[in-house]
Chain A
Amino acid sequence: MDELYLDNIDEYVNDHNKIVTYKWLSLTLGVHVNTAKQMLYHYLDHKRKESSAQLHATYLVSGKFVDNGQTSHKVSVVREDQLEDFKAKMSLVVSVHVYSVQRALLRDSGPLYAVDYDAVKDNLKNCSRYSAIHCASAVPMSSVELQQAREVQQAPTPEPENKKTGMNGDTSPVLKSSAKPPKGIMGMFANKSAPKSQDNTKEMKPEKKEDIDAPKSKPVAKANPVANFFGTQTSKKPEKPVKKEEAPQSSSRAAQQQHERSKPEEKQETVAPVEPQKDTKKDSRSKTKRLEDSDGEEEKMETKKRRRIKKPEPDSSDEDVIPDSPQPVVTREPSSPSPKKEVEPDRHSHPSSSEMKIRKRRRVMKSHTFVDGDGCMVTEKGYVSESYSESEDDFKPSKQASRDPIKAKPSSSKEDEKKTQKKASANSNKGAKQASIMGFFQKK
């Protein structure tokens, strides 16, 4: 009989891999809680002597605790490895007993509650049957008394709540030793509730860094290596991350690169645990980067298109004067690069008016018979000989000259148009380059 309970507990712990708390054991076996506690203690002792399987235990310690001159009665559930430390901190230890026995090393106290929850729920009406805490006047109320109590209930509810907060301050379990460091990380995540809804990862990353600076005033304990990761970031470079963020915030890609760069800086001791986090971050970042890359490219395309179209705009006023050209009319929408090519032939289309304005270039035109071969080279010579005004105007005469032979044969001009379009684009590119070259020559 005496040994039977050992086998029972052994079955629960080893075979079923359960967490056996004293409360659960007392309800399951139908014994008083103190008996259950002793059972667990003997079982643990027995198994430890055999040293067969690795067992972990938690203990309930209650006693007097002095904190800054204030004495309080503290009841805590502690892990076995923290037991001696905890007992040493207390001024008077009133009771210590085994709370639970399990095979797994529990990282937090959640499962302990879960174990008792179902056991208590099943025995709700007689959950205190085996309890050591007794009060003679604690009997279930009759229905009349219940109704009276409900009417009175509303008034006294605020009072007990105040008392509770005072009492519960010291009774929290001490299983999690890293209570402070999560605040550093949690501080980051806690402020994400607003931007989370926006679903914009770009903004979150620079914001995360800003939030790191916010809790920097809190002394972050170095127990948690991940806290170190963020802690060093705040202690070493309090201002630099903010400055870095302000600059790259203008360009999202730079912000991401910044994030990636600063992460390798702070790798130090935190390589392993942070890597999976980084991997997910990088994966999501790569997603957003792809989006942003495509966005950036689109923007570039648009600006380029805009730039290209802007050039012929000052010349557009001349179009009215010019007779209809064989080329299509320009549409000023930056939807595709084709308008640019369409525009430039139009530039060619008004030769006379521009020729009227700048006579100097006429001289250069003569050499433009070479345009068919290397149009670009001919125009260069034209620029060197003259004072440089605008590259656009310089384009026009060159193209006009090339147009002259083509105008005579509009029917066969399509291919030539394309050629000239290409050359025009080449000219425009060279013109942009030539501007700098001209400046060099002008200084002479």
Chain B
Amino acid sequence: MTTLTRQDLNFGQVVADILCEFLEVAIHLILYVREVYPSGIFQKRKKYNVPVQMSCHPELNQYIQDTLHCIKPLIEKNDAEKVVVVIMDKEHHPVERFVFEISQPPLLSISSDTLLSHVEQLLRAFILKISVCDAVLNSNPPGCSFTVLVHTRDAATRNMEKVQVIKDFPWIVADEQEVHMQEPRLIPLKTMTSDIVKMQLYVEERAQKT
């Protein structure tokens, strides 16, 4: 039984790596399932021993990777409260928000050898839930785009603005328009609790999409 604290940066990095990998797969899958991009650009790949759909478009992939690369330091320090994938219509009003609420226990304890495989199983369940989420959601209007918002604790964003983690990839404070949605409907998708991270996924959907 090993008890590690957050000061053990190596383990914090491991958790951040796991979460960022998962978020990458999740974002690709959301884009596929919600038909933000045509299905032709997606290719079946394997993650957590199950097939997932990942995009092959190099610029889209680079954009998502850069986004998550910037989010990773926030997750390492446990500053990221929520990571939100917002799907917006042509007028840039949000129609759907996939909210990943992340919280990490202050004292990480590895209680079993099978911790990571257990986490993998839980993440697999998340993937599965995203795959079937269109049963509970209304279809989106055509011509949607997406963006990623991060809700952070305290003043963590000040550091982000000062230090550009990736050159020419600035993060700006989100507009009120992008953050708030008219008449949202809340649909919970999945919750997971593990020793290293607690995550909740729910969808806020606008009542009238078109």
Contact = CB atoms under 8 A, between A and B. Distances in A.
Interface of A: 17-19, 102-111, 113-115, 117-118, 178, 181-182, 184-186, 189-190, 192, 196, 199, 201, 204, 224-227, 271-277, 279-281, 284, 287, 291
A193 B38 CA distance: 21
B8 interface: no
A429 to B, nearest CB: 36
- Which of B44, B50, B136: most chain A Cβ within 10 A? B50
B13 to A, nearest CB: 24
- Which of A196, A224, A272: most chain B Cβ within 10 A? A272
Nearest to B39: A107
B121 A118 contact: yes
Interface string B26-43: 000000110111111101
A192 B58 contact: yes
B59 A281 contact: yes
Given A104-B133, A189-B57, A273-B37, 15 more contacts: A103-B136, A110-B50, A111-B131, A117-B50, A182-B40, A185-B56, A189-B56, A190-B56, A196-B58, A201-B59, A204-B59, A226-B38, A273-B35, A274-B38, A284-B59
- Chain B, interface residues (CB within 8 Å), range: 35 or more
Nearest to B50: A114
B56 A108 contact: no
Contact of B51 (A19, A110, A189): A110
20 contacts: A19-B132, A104-B133, A108-B44, A110-B44, A110-B53, A114-B131, A117-B124, A118-B125, A178-B40, A184-B40, A189-B57, A190-B56, A224-B39, A224-B40, A226-B40, A273-B35, A276-B37, A276-B143, A277-B37, A284-B63
Contacts of B62: 199
Nearest to A117: B50
A104 B131 contact: yes
Contact of A178 (B39, B49, B56): B39
Nearest to A287: B168
A277 B63 CA distance: 12
A290 to B, nearest CB: 9
B135 interface: yes
Given A114-B124, A114-B127, A280 B59 contact: yes
Contacts of B136: 17, 103
A276 B95 CA distance: 15
B156 interface: no
A204 B58 contact: yes
A279 B32 CA distance: 17
B105 interface: no
Contacts of A185: 40-41, 56
Contacts of A110: 44, 50-53, 131
B128 interface: yes
Nearest to B59: A284
- Which of B41, B131, B142, B143: most chain A Cβ within 10 A? B131
Contacts of B133: 104
B50 to A, nearest CB: 4
- Which of A186, A189, A226: most chain B Cβ within 10 A? A189
B144 interface: yes
Contacts of A105: 134-135
Interface string B105-147: 0000000000000000100110111011111100000111110
B56 A280 contact: no
Nearest to A195: B58
B131 to A, nearest CB: 4
A227 to B, nearest CB: 6
A182 B44 CA distance: 12
A55 B43 CA distance: 27
B192 to A, nearest CB: 14
Contacts of B132: 17-19, 102-104, 106, 111
B33 to A, nearest CB: 7
Given A114-B127, A272-B143, A108 B53 contact: yes
Given A224-B40, A227-B40, A273-B142, A106 B168 contact: no
B143 A114 contact: no
Contacts of B58: 189, 192, 196, 204
B60 interface: yes
Contact of A280 (B50, B63, B131, B135): B63
